[in-house]
């Protein structure tokens, strides 16, 4: 049985939908914190069980009979999040899973300025030490995050952000399709190539694309890190969240999210969605 954690989230649910196109529903199970939100999957024949990274006993039940387990990364960062992943890996091994897959990130590194990248890198080390065959999916930067960065630019005509570097913005739907292909076709062992769209675009490029799609000029305005921080805090953003976003910009300036690779296109058998296509679909 193929088990997918976090199947009530955007990526996890997308992977399940893609798996349903490839294997019978009875061969798919999901581990979710709230089974009531997965009733539609249960009605289609998917096995739905409650599972929480913070509760090893619940994971043991959710992972029962697993041949492969896709661990969709925990939304909890720091030591607590890494413990969550350690628990999931340990329970997967105990359940007899033949392979564990993990949704990592193209920028995973212990040296990154962006905290989630340290989180992903640490989990990859846990997988290496587990003695379980594994695949770490080095996903491209989720294109949906760009909508958050655009903020109120659609109303003000100003895209205000610190100095940045290019991002290989990649659609959730393409990454979900690739994950399902990797699971079903037993492709890619160990740490995958970067699974990205075909181009990397910085904030200046985003402003240009939004301007063209919306038919109005969006100006890219560069501000200092401190000015950006003060601006977000004045808008009510929690300081921890602001520091996280600034870390992302700092990492992008180091080129952490700029590398593109044909691996995703090869897995899904077509060109990945471009950032323009994702943005146009979202704004419509």
Which residue ranges form the domains of the chain, and what is each CATH number? 2-139+171-196+259-272 (3.40.50.720)
Query: Taking each helix axis from N to C terminus, what angle separates 225-234 and 239-253, rounded to the nearest 10 degrees?
Result: 150
pLDDT digits (tens, 9 = 90+) for 35-80: 999 999 999 999 999 999 999 999 999 999 999 999 999 888 889 9
Q: Are 89 and 100 in contact (CB under 8 A)?
A: yes
Q: What pLDDT does residue 139 have?
A: 98
- Could you tell me where the beta strands, DSSP code E, fall in 177-277? 190-191, 219-223
Q: Residue 248 to residues 44, 117, 255: CA-CA distances in angstroms?
A: 39, 9, 11
Q: Which of 63, 71, 210 is nearest to 151 (CA)?
A: 210
Residue 103 CA to residue 184 CA, distance in Å, equals 16
| pTM for this entry | 0.95
Ranges of residues in the chain with a pLDDT under 50 are none
Predicted pLDDT at 187: 85
Q: What pLDDT score does 38 carry? A: 97
Q: Write down the residue that tokens 């655009």 correspond to.
A: 150
Report the pLDDT value the prediction gives residue 55, as an integer from 0 to 100: 95
21-32: burial string, b at 16+ Cβ within 10 Å, e else: eeeebebbbbbb
The answer to whether residues 76 and 191 touch, using CB atoms and an 8 Å cutoff, is no
> Helices (H), strands (E): how many in the chain?
13, 11
Q: What pLDDT is stored for residue 78 in this prediction?
A: 85
Q: How far apart are CA 121 and CA 50, in angstroms?
A: 27
Per-residue tokens: 7? 């199947």
Q: What percent of the chain has pLDDT over 70?
A: 100
Express as a percent the part of the chain with pLDDT over 90.
91
Q: Residue 284 and residue 187: Cα distance in Å, rounded?
A: 35
Cα separation values, 279 from 22, 57, 154, 214, Å: 28, 41, 12, 10
Residue 257 and residue 284: Cα distance in Å, rounded? 26
Q: What is the pLDDT of residues 194-204, one digit of tens each?
A: 999 999 999 99
pLDDT confidence of residue 208:
96
- pLDDT, residue 75, reads 85
- pLDDT at residue number 194: 98
């Amino acid at each position: 049985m193929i088990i997918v954690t976090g199947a009530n989230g955007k990526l996890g649910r997308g992977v399940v939908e893609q798996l349903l196109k490839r294997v019978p529903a009875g061969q798919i199970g999901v581990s979710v914190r709230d089974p009531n939100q997965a009733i539609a999957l249960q009605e289609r024949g998917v096995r739905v069980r409650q599972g929480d990274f913070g509760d090893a006993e619940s994971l043991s039940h959710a992972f029962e009979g697993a041949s492969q387990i896709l661990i969709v990364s925990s939304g909890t960062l720091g030591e607590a999040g890494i413990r969550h992943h350690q628990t999931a890996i340990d329970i997967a091994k105990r359940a007899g899973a033949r392979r564990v897959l993990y949704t990592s990130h193209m920028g995973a590194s212990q040296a990154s300025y962006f905290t989630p990248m340290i989180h992903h890198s640490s989990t990859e080390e846990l997988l290496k030490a587990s003695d379980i065959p594994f695949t770490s999916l080095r996903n491209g930067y989720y294109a949906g995050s760009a909508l958050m960065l655009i903020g109120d630019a659609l109303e003000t005509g100003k895209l205000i952000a610190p100095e940045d570097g290019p991002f290989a913005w990649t659609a959730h739907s393409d990454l979900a399709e690739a994950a399902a292909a990797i699971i079903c076709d037993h492709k890619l062992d160990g740490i995958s190539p970067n699974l990205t769209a075909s181009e990397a675009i910085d904030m200046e490029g985003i402003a240009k694309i939004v301007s063209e799609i919306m038919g109005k000029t969006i100006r890219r305005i560069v501000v200092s890190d401190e000015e950006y921080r003060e601006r977000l805090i004045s808008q009510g953003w929690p300081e921890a969240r602001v520091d996280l976003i600034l870390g992302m910009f700092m990492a992008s300036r180091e080129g952490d999210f700029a590398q593109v690779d044909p691996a995703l296109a090869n897995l899904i058998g077509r060109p990945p969605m471009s950032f323009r296509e994702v943005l146009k679909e979202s704004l419509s």
